[in-house]
A and B are shown apart, each in its own frame.
Chain A
């Protein structure tokens, strides 16, 4: 079982729809969860971080975390063609000493295509 799993896609949604991206992780000690967006040929860009169970909203983006189910998701409302990219889920855990300097484990990424 991979440590962090995502559907590779491609996920295709029409403009204006809600895109739903999902991620599961295997390490129950994981404490920090991130979504990165990566356009083709560019570097990853942090778009959301979430640390507690529940929802976190930022503009058109909502991250959802359920630690009991080891599941984190990203919803993109009113999807735009400019949202077409690869979305990477990343997970980190803290060391026994409580620090996290800071091994991110990435999923394989989900390719999202928003068509006009």
Chain B
């Protein structure tokens, strides 16, 4: 299995909702990432987990809460989001911190 999977593909939520994005990889990669991508912009790094520990948090607001239950899974918990948080949320994984492979993304709309 050489892919990163993400669920759901699309998510619409209100500003008072709580939801979670899920990411899974079975390539034995040691690092997993969350990125946010707005239209016509490059991906922006949010969080990096290495060996299941949070190693980088790019000053992301606390309404985004990452979780790495095990080496194959990465979650992003969402609470009290704002409309400007609407974007494509990308998960990626990497064996050694070099080549990163992206999942298909979750397109999030906050109403």
Contacts and interface: CB of A to CB of B under 8 A. Distances in A.
Interface of A: 32, 34, 36, 42-46, 49, 51, 88, 92, 94, 99-104, 106-109
Contacts of B31: 101-102
Contacts of B33: 102
A38 B41 CA distance: 11
B102 A102 contact: no
Interface residues of B, number: 24
A102 B97 contact: yes
Contacts of B96: 100, 102
Interface of B: 30-31, 33, 41-43, 45, 48, 50, 55-56, 88, 90, 94, 96-105
B95 to A, nearest CB: 10
A99 B56 CA distance: 13
